[in-house]
């Protein structure tokens, strides 16, 4: 590891070797046995290299003093030629040679702090050991790297991995972990199981274990003895440098096996990607199936138009629909957003790992879910509209049914006894005045009958409207209407027949009581007017606007303006009765108080007049109550409009802001992600405003308000806008996270990503998130691509276009553009690389055995391969052989896994 141009030690600043040694010695931490172990180990290490030049050293502090063997050692281990040494034997010759060696070490980036040529020439043992340790670090240990750790950490991790399967071995350091010798034996057995029978070794025999390892290493691995077993056993804490030096020789001896470990690491990485992708696919399938099944179960309910044709039944359905929108649908909106996010993340990971795009099971594509969701929203809108329309229809039906009953009851009360009266033959035995009275009475009845014609027609019209609106109890309405019409026809026929009888007797009976006749003439229309006024005053009504109720109030005020004239008419009629009573009393006329021309009496007229006058203030109160109701409805309209006119533009502003961030116009991806999450928090914080608006909307619906001239926003449009805003934020967050994932996993810089986004946005003039082919070509040219205007340039561009727009949609989406630029800028693992890695583990054989997979890979990934690899069927196949080639190609979609 290099830092500031000098060599930095692998643990705790080894360049300050002498200073550290002196500090340990001052603090009583330096074990004298360490110096002895270092001297022996370093001497053996130097000789293992010097023997290649046909020489050796015996005393490390003396044999390097003239610098000649030191220079020779450096030439052997580096493979380079040092400057020609000085051959003189004087002290300055020796210093010059040692300085040449130290200069060479320094040229390799090593800082020799506190180590000078004079100390080496003078035979300073500590300085000499420090110098040799720096050489060992630089030329034997520094290049050891496992998973990008430092040399010491990498060498320790290598020992831990190689000895992990062995009983009684737990390598945690380079001193106590190697004292019993089992760690050395395990390293040898792992790479050369034919040299040691590990099962016969015991933790209780450390001396035997150490001698076994050292002997085998020296005899079969060409690693000389560098440690003394007795020193290791008898030293409380053996020297780390000595053991590291010796273990590094094992590492280099087995360096060929490192290729297998590198291959295993690559395979593990690929398999982890595949396992995670499979998990995401399974989760997508599960979520998609659940959401589509919920939509399938919900649609029949939303499409149903069945009801019991009662207002209460439809209002219950409306409340069920509100519960569905408030409680049941929101979790599904979140589930849909999560589904789309997971799908996008999965596709991004597949692209980054050079895998083919994921194709969900038929019927579970994102487009299928989107279409199903749109169908659900259309069904919701149609269902709500039907419920509201049905509520209005049934409310009107209830009103009409009550009105029909009221008018029918009034008419039937009036017709009671009329048929019997018309069929009577009383006029045949009357006196003249009685006959004339009967005739006038009949004329009054005919006038009354004609006045009732409109009432019967109104009853028939109401019945017809109830039939047209499909009132649920049309049968009884029709039956009653038919009875009234039939009776009306009979009354007409009977009236005509009685009239003919009276005309026949009129020749005899001439005398008429003019006073009673005048009363009858005035009382009958006044009575009809009283009946009509009474009906109007108790008539039920239904209004929906202020204008309608104000019209009713105005009509009522006009009616009240006529009461003065009616009161005069009433006094005239009552005056006629009083005049008749005075004459009868004065003339003593038998039966003169009985009015032969009408059944009406002064008492009846007086009672009805009192009723009408009493009903007027009641009608005033009813209209006032309805006015307050409509005023409240107007207030609800204004409340809803005020809130909606604030919420609607707010949602639109948030949508614009989120869209602008999604375009990546400014700031790093992390800043965009941070701003999007701030918008996400702001949107969720704004949710109480939506809920408050829903409450107002429910009050509006419960008050049967169906239009609002104060706003163009409806609750439905705001709901859709709210859900689209949430979906847009989630989708943009997911896209930015995927871009970060792409940037980090592919190693592209933020500057590159910014350049890609800026170039794309520059040519995306309409901010649609996609480019037409010519725009895409211009974008590539702006990024440095050379695309000629000749036929060859067009062919090159068509090949690129086929990659970024495989479905020939005519547009290039930003994710496909980013994926293309990322692949152009970075390298990815390939099926060929994975096959080469398996070939190393299989010792160049075209097949691999399960035991080899279990030995080289973690347990879960080894079993993953064994379960999925097909049997090898090539030549020279042995039982249990597995085909790693077809397995590797299947990982990248080149064959079926």
Tokens of 538: 């108790």
What DSSP character marks residue 326?
Answer: I
Rounded to whole angstroms, the Cα distance separating 887 from 720 reads: 47
Among 606, 744, 637, 741, which Cα is nearest to 699's?
Answer: 637
Whole-angstrom CA distances from 238 to 31, 175, 233, 799 are: 9, 5, 8, 65
CATH of region 525-745: 1.20.58.60
Query: Which range among 132-146, 259-273, 458-472 shows the weakest confidence by mean pLDDT?
Result: 259-273
- DSSP-derived 3-state class of residue 60: helix
- What was the pLDDT predicted at 212? 94
Rounded to whole angstroms, the Cα distance separating 509 from 436 reads: 6
Provide mean pLDDT across the span 623-645.
Answer: 85
pLDDT (tens digit, 9 = 90+) per residue, 481-523? Answer: 999 899 888 888 888 888 877 776 555 444 445 777 788 888 8
Give the DSSP letter string of 391-460: HHHHHHHHHHHHHHHHHHHHHHHHHTTHHHHHH--GGGG--HHHHHHHHHHHHHHHHHHHHTHHHHHHHH
**pLDDT, mean over the chain:** 82
**pLDDT of residue 840 exceeding 50:** yes
The answer to whether the beta carbons of residues 518 and 576 sit under 8 Å apart is yes
Q: List where CATH 1.10.418.10 sits in the chain.
A: 31-139, 149-237
**pLDDT of residue 289 exceeding 90:** yes
- In a 13 Å sphere around the CA of 106, the CA atoms on its Cβ side amount to 12
Rounded to whole angstroms, the Cα distance separating 497 from 442 reads: 11
CATH of region 746-822: 1.10.238.10
Rounded to whole angstroms, the Cα distance separating 155 from 728 reads: 50
- What was the pLDDT predicted at 510? 47
Among 14, 142, 20, which Cα is nearest to 78's?
Answer: 142
- What was the pLDDT predicted at 588? 59
- What was the pLDDT predicted at 261? 66
The answer to whether the beta carbons of residues 651 and 580 sit under 8 Å apart is no
Q: List where CATH 1.20.58.60 sits in the chain.
A: 269-390, 424-506, 525-745
Long-range contacts of 840-845 (CB under 8 A, 24+ apart): 840/259, 840/260, 840/262, 840/263, 841/260, 841/263, 841/264, 841/267, 842/884
- What was the pLDDT predicted at 432? 60
- What was the pLDDT predicted at 4? 30
Domain 829-890 has CATH 1.10.238.10: yes
Provide mean pLDDT across the span 130-140.
Answer: 86
pTM: 0.49
Among 44, 235, 228, 34, which Cα is nearest to 136's?
Answer: 44
- What was the pLDDT predicted at 17? 41
CATH of region 149-237: 1.10.418.10
- What was the pLDDT predicted at 829? 66
Provide mean pLDDT across the span 806-827.
Answer: 77
Q: List where CATH 1.10.238.10 sits in the chain.
A: 746-822, 829-890
The answer to whether the beta carbons of residues 735 and 729 sit under 8 Å apart is no
Residue that has been written with the tokens 């269902």 in this structure: 383
pLDDT range class, residue 587, cuts 50, 70, 90: low
**pLDDT of residue 379 exceeding 80:** yes
Helices (H) then strands (E): counts for the chain: 35, 4
**pLDDT of residue 9 exceeding 80:** no
Among 317, 294, 293, which Cα is nearest to 305's?
Answer: 317
- DSSP-derived 3-state class of residue 367: helix
Rounded to whole angstroms, the Cα distance separating 259 from 6 reads: 30
Provide mean pLDDT across the span 266-280.
Answer: 83
Rounded to whole angstroms, the Cα distance separating 357 from 893 reads: 9
* CATH architecture observed for domain 269-390: Up-down Bundle (1.20)
pLDDT (tens digit, 9 = 90+) per residue, 93-108? Answer: 888 999 998 999 888 8
**pLDDT of residue 889 exceeding 90:** no
Residue that has been written with the tokens 């009496």 in this structure: 601
Measure CA of the first residue to CA of the last residue in the chain; give whole Å: 42
- Rg of the chain over CA atoms, in angstroms? 54
The answer to whether the beta carbons of residues 623 and 553 sit under 8 Å apart is yes
Domain 424-506 has CATH 1.20.120.80: no
Give the DSSP letter string of 767-823: --SEE-HHHHHHHHHHTT----SSHHHHHHHHHHHHHH-TT--S-EEHHHHHHHHHH
Among 46, 44, 40, 41, which Cα is nearest to 101's?
Answer: 46
CATH top class, domain 31-139: mainly alpha
Tokens of 553: 């109030």
- What was the pLDDT predicted at 706? 74
Burial of 222 from C-beta contacts in 10 A (0-12 / 13-18 / 19+): exposed
- What was the pLDDT predicted at 314? 82
Q: What's the gap between Cα 368 and its chain centre?
A: 17
Rounded to whole angstroms, the Cα distance separating 720 from 655 reads: 12
Most confident of 29-38, 169-178, 340-349, 437-446: 169-178
Q: What's the gap between Cα 272 and its chain centre?
A: 26
Among 710, 717, 691, which Cα is nearest to 322's?
Answer: 691
Rounded to whole angstroms, the Cα distance separating 808 from 722 reads: 33
């Amino acid at each position: 590891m290099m830092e500031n141009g000098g060599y930095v030690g692998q643990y705790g600043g080894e360049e300050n070797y002498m200073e550290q040694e002196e500090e340990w010695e001052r603090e009583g931490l330096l074990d004298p046995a360490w110096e002895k172990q270092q001297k022996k180990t370093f001497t053996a290490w130097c000789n293992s290299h010097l023997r290649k030049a046909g020489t050796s050293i015996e005393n490390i502090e003396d044999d390097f003093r003239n610098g000649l063997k030191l220079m020779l050692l450096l030439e052997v281990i580096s493979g380079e030629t040092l400057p020609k040494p000085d051959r003189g034997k004087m002290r300055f010759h020796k210093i010059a040679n040692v300085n040449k060696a130290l200069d060479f070490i320094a040229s390799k980036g090593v800082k020799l702090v506190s180590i000078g040529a004079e100390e080496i020439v003078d035979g300073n043992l500590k300085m000499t050991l420090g110098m040799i340790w720096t050489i060992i670090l630089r030329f034997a240990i520094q290049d050891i790297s496992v998973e990008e750790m430092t040399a010491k950490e990498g060498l320790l991790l290598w020992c831990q991995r190689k000895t992990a399967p062995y009983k009684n071995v737990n390598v945690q350091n380079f001193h106590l972990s190697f004292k019993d010798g089992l760690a050395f034996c395990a390293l040898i057995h792992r790479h050369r199981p034919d040299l040691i029978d590990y099962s016969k070794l015991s933790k209780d025999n450390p001396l035997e274990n150490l001698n076994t390892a050292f002997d085998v290493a020296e005899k079969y691995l060409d690693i000389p003895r560098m440690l003394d077993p007795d020193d290791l056993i008898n030293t409380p804490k053996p020297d780390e440098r000595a053991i590291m030096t010796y273990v590094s020789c094992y590492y280099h001896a087995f360096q060929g096996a490192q290729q297998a470990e590198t291959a295993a690491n690559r395979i593990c990485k690929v398999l982890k990607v595949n396992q995670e992708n499979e998990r995401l696919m399974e989760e997508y399938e599960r979520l998609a199936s659940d959401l589509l099944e919920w939509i399938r179960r919900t649609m029949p309910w939303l499409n149903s138009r069945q009801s019991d044709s009662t207002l209460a039944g439809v209002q219950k359905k409306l409340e069920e629909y509100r519960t569905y929108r408030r409680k049941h649908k929101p979790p599904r909106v979140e589930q849909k957003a999560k589904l789309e996010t997971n799908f996008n993340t999965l596709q991004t990971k597949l692209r980054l790992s050079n895998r083919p795009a994921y194709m969900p099971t038929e019927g579970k594509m994102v487009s299928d879910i989107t279409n199903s969701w749109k169908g659900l929203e259309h069904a919701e809108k149609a269902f709500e509209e039907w419920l509201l329309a049905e509520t209005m229809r049934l409310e009107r039906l209830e009103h009409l049914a009550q009105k029909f009953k009221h008018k029918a009851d009034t008419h039937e009360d009036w017709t009671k006894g009329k048929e019997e009266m018309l069929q009577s033959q009383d006029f045949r035995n009357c006196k003249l005045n009685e006959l004339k009275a009967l005739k006038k009475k009949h004329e009054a009845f005919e006038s009354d009958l004609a006045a009732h014609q409109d009432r019967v027609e109104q009853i028939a019209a109401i019945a017809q409207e109830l039939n047209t609106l499909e009132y649920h109890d049309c049968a009884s309405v029709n039956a009653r209407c038919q009875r009234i019409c039939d009776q009306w026809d009979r009354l007409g026929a009977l009236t005509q027949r009685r009239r003919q009888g009276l005309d026949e007797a009129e020749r005899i009976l001439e005398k008429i009581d003019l006073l009673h006749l005048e009363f009858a003439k005035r009382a009958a229309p006044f009575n009809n007017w009283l009946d009509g006024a009474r009906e109007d005053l108790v008539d039920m009504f239904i209004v929906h606007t202020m204008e309608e109720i104000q019209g009713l109030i105005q009509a009522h005020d006009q009616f009240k303006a006529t009461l003065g004239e009616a009161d005069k008419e009433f006094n005239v009629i009552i005056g006629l009765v009083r005049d008749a009573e005075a004459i009868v009393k004065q003339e003593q006329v038998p039966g003169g108080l009985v009015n032969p021309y009408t059944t009406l009496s002064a008492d009846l007229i007086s009672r009805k007049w009192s009723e009408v006058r009493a009903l007027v203030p009641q009608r005033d109160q009813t209209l006032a109550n309805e006015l307050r109701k409509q005023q409240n409805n107007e207030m609800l309209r204004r409340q809803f409009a005020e809130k909606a006119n604030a919420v609607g533009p707010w949602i639109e502003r948030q949508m614009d802001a989120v869209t602008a961030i999604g375009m990546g116009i400014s700031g790093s991806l992390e800043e965009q992600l941070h701003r999007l999450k701030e918008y996400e928090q702001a949107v969720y914080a704004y949710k109480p405003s939506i809920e408050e608006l829903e409450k107002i909307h429910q009050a509006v619906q419960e008050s049967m308000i169906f239009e609002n001239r104060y706003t163009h926003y409806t609750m439905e449009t705001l709901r859709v806008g709210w859900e689209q805003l949430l979906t847009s934020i989630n989708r943009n967050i997911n896209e930015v996270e995927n871009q970060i994932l792409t940037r980090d996993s592919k190693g592209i810089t933020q500057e590159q990503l910014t350049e890609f986004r800026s170039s794309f946005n520059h040519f995306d003039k309409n901010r649609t998130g996609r480019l037409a082919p010519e725009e895409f070509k211009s974008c590539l040219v702006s990024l440095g691509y050379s695309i000629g205007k000749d036929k060859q340039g067009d062919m090159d561009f068509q090949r690129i276009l086929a990659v970024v727009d495989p479905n020939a949609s005519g547009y290039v989406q930003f994710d496909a553009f980013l994926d293309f630029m990322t692949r152009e800028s970075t390298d990815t693992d390939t099926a060929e690389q994975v096959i080469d890695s398996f070939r190393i583990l299989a010792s160049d054989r075209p097949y691999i055995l399960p035991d080899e997979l279990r030995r080289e890979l973690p347990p879960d990934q080894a079993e993953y391969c064994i379960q999925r690899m097909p049997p090898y069927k090539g030549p020279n196949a042995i039982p249990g052989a597995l085909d790693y080639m077809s397995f590797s190609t299947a990982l990248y979609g080149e064959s079926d896994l």
